[in-house]
Amino acid sequence: MQDKYLALTPPMGWNSWNTFSWEINEELIKTAVDAMVSEGLKDAGYEYVVIDDSWSEKQRDKDGKLVPDHIKFPHGIKALADYVHSKGLKFGIYSCAGTHTCCGHPGSFEHEFDDAETFAEWGVDFLKYDYCYKPDNIPGEILYKRMSTALRNCGRDIVFSACNWGNDNVYKWIRESGAHMFRSTGDIQDNWESIKRLALSQIGNECYGGNYCHNDIDMLVVGMYGGSINQWINSADTAEGDVAVMTDADKVKSEPRLGGCTDEEYKTHFSLWALMDSPLMIGCDIRHMTPATKNILTNKDVIAINQDIECRAPYCIKQWNNPENVFSLVKPMSDGSYAIGLFNFGDREGEMSLQFWDIGLTTASGRGLDIYDCWEHKELGTFTERFCTVVPPHGCMVLRAKVVKVK
C-alpha cells in the first residue's frame, strides 16, 4: 500500500463497456487481455483491463458479499484477475455509489468497506465507481469519500475512478475525496458530434485535473466504427451466445450501424483526449483492430504528451477569424518544450495561425521553435513569430515544439 506513484499520470487501459456493455464473460475478457499484449497495446503503455457493469449476480450472498455471475465467470473474479496479472497487466472492476448499478446489480451503497475488502482479496487494481440509483438525499460528495476511505484501508493499492458524470459540482471537491480520476461528462457516443461536445465542455475546466487526480472525459471510441454489442445482438442473424466469436465481416454486415466516425475524426478524438490529460481507456474491440485504429492508439509521440510527468493542463488559443471552429491547445511540457494541438471542428478546411507571442515567445527574445509533427513523425523545421497551416475538416495536427535560439 501507499504507492506514491499510483495514478501519477493519467491511467491507460481498456474497458469492456463501449463495445460489449452487459454481454461480458470470462473467455471474452481473456481474449481481450491476450490482444492487449499481442497487438502492442501493453508496450504502448496501456495496463488496466476493466470489466464494467453486469459481472455479478443480481443478489448478494447470505453474508452480504458480492458474488460473480456463475455463468459469465464460472471460475470467479480472482481467477480472472490472476490471469490478467500473469500477462503483466492490471485488473479493474466496476461498482456503483447507489443501491444498484445502472444494469440493476448490487451497488456498494452501505457496503463500501465490505466490497473494498472483497475487491482487494480478488486482486483488483482499479475500481470504476458509477452513479446510478443514488439515494436522493445523500450528497454524492459523501458517497465518493466513503468509498475512497474504504479503498485506502482495504490492504491493496486500487485506482479509484469516480464516475459521477460531472454532477454535483464535482470539480470543487473531487481532489480532496481521494479519487484518482473523475468523470466530468456524460457518456460518450461513437459519433463526431458527441466527441466535439465533450471536448468543448472542458474548455475552461482544464485547471481542475493534475497529478493523482485526472479529469476523465470518458472512454475512447477510437476504432468502433459504429459497432457495439447492442448493435450486434439486435441483428436478426446473431444469437446472444455468438458475441465472442463474431468476425469482422459479421460486424460489417450487422445493421443498423450506430454512429461511427472516420479515421480522421478518431485521430482528432485521440489527440484531444491526450492533450487534455484525460485517462486513455480504450473502448473498441481490441481483438479486431484495423491498421488505422492500431496506429492511432499506439502513437507513442501523442501518448508521451498525455503521460508527461507534470500533467500540465493545456490552454486554448482560438483562430482570430474563425474562433468558433479552429483553435489550438498548448500544453507546457516538463522538458521545456510545448505540445501543440491544432484543431478544426468545422465542416470545411480552416487556417490555423499560431502566433508565438501568444505562448510567451517574443521575436525580441531571439528564439523560435523547432517543430516536430507527432502524426507524420517528422521534423518540420524551425519557425519564428508564428506557425501557420491548413487543418482539414474535423481534423488536427499535433506538434512537439522545442525552443531554440535563432540569432
- What is the C-alpha separation between 224 and 284, in angstroms, rounded? 5
Please classify residue 126 by burial: count the beta carbons closer than 10 Å to its beta carbon, then call 0-12 exposed, 13-18 middle and 19+ buried: buried
Tally the residues of the chain. Answer: 407
Q: Which are the contacts of 112, defined by CB distance < 8 A and separation ≥ 6?
A: 146, 147, 149, 150
Q: How far apart are CA 194 and CA 154, in angstroms?
A: 37
CB-CB contact of 331 with 313 (8 Å): yes
- What does the block give as the cell for 120? 482487494
Identify whether 130 is a catalytic site residue: yes
CA angle 28, 117, 4 (to 5 degrees): 90
Q: Helix 76-86 to helix 26-38 angle, to the nearest 10 degrees?
A: 10
Say what angle helices 192-201 and 263-275 make with each other, to 10 degrees: 20
Is the Cβ–Cβ distance between 30 and 83 less than 8 Å?
yes
Cβ-contact 344, 391 below 8 angstroms: yes
Instruction: Measure Cα distances from 214 to 114, 176, 305, 392 in Å.
Output: 26, 12, 14, 30
Q: How far apart (Å, rounded) are the C-alpha atoms in residues 76 and 89?
A: 18
Cβ burial 30-56 (10 Å sphere, 16+ → b, else e) = bebbebbeebebbebbbbbbbbbbbbb
Which is catalytic among the residues 187, 250, 370, 373?
Answer: 187
C-alpha distances in Å from residue 262, one per residue of 224, 259, 333: 10, 10, 30
| C-alpha–C-alpha distance, residues 88 and 33, integer Å | 10
Query: Which residue among the candidates 52, 53, 125, 130 is catalytic per the annotation?
Result: 130
Active site residues: 130, 187
